[in-house]
Amino acid sequence: MEEVIKNKNLKDNRCFFIQATSPLLNETDIISAYKKDKLDSLFTSYLTKKFIWKKINNTFVSLSYNYKKREMRQDHKLSHVENGALYIFETKNLLHSKNRLHKKIGTYIMPKNRSLEIDGSADINKLKIILNKKNNYKKKILLLY
């Protein structure tokens, strides 16, 4: 990103970094994310109530809740999961911080069912299922008319 910004002299622009590995991002998401005011950088995310753990030095650590006082999932606070679909940022800030997220960071929340990230063949199969369901649904609607 830095190389393109420097070579194309885009230092005073806003950059939209759209990842091809998030094929369910749509035009409405991009426009709505852009309209979020007063942010220096933005990432897309989805909301979850999952209890998230991470293994650190062979020890499991809870990241999203206090396991000693486990609450019911229904009462658990929502967490934002970065879905990698879209990042918007000021190019000059990227050059300065060497990071696409900087200063005042915000998020645009996408639906979880459109937050698929393609990282391997299993994800491609999920995408095929989603697209087939979508196409079959459209065909059924056309048959009704």
d(CA 24, CA 123): 12
- Given this model, what pLDDT does residue 137 score? 62
- Given this model, what pLDDT does residue 134 score? 79
Q: Parse the chain into domains and list their residue ranges.
A: 2-117
Entry pTM: 0.83
Among 123, 133, 116, 89, which residue's Cα sits nearest to residue 26? 116
Q: Write the CATH number of the domain with boundaries 2-117.
A: 3.90.550.10
- Given this model, what pLDDT does residue 143 score? 59
Low-confidence ranges of the chain (pLDDT < 50): none
- Given this model, what pLDDT does residue 17 score? 95
**What is the tens place of the pLDDT at every residue in 110-134?**
999 999 999 999 999 999 999 888 7
Among 48, 46, 26, which residue's Cα sits nearest to residue 111? 46
For the record, the structure tokens of 81 come out as 């999961």
DSSP secondary structure string for all residues of the chain? -HHHHHHTT-TTSEEEEE-TT-TT--HHHHHHHHT--S-SEEEEEEEE----EEEETTEEEESSS-GGGPPPGGGSPPEEEEEEEEEEEEHHHHHHHSSSS-SSEEEEEPPGGG-----SHHHHHHHHHHHHHHHHHHHHHHHH-
- Given this model, what pLDDT does residue 142 score? 60
